[in-house]
Amino acid sequence: MDKKSAFNFRIFIGVIIIGATVFLSFRYLLKGPPFIKVMAIGLVAGVSYLVIDHLIKKSKENKNE
């Protein structure tokens, strides 16, 4: 697989991971008490940050090669 296809695949998987996290947190976690709601929003923010950070690191590694 060439670099562009691999990067597009990583973006696609990242979008699925972020979308699943948003879906599950809004579907199940936001029905609880306020503390759980804050944790659900933090979960979405944390997962989004980690996925985007991973994609940026892989993009920089591919440019250096």
Q: What is the DSSP string of the chain?
A: --HHHHHHHHHHHHHHHHHHHHHHHHHTGGGS-HHHHHHHHHHHHHHHHHHHHHHHHHHHHHHH-
For the record, the structure tokens of 41 come out as 């929003």
pLDDT band at 18 (very low <50, low <70, confident <90, very high): very high
pTM for this model (two decimals): 0.83
Between CA 22 and CA 9 the distance in angstroms is: 20
pLDDT band at 36 (very low <50, low <70, confident <90, very high): confident
Task: Look at 9 and 26; give whichever has higher pLDDT.
Answer: 9
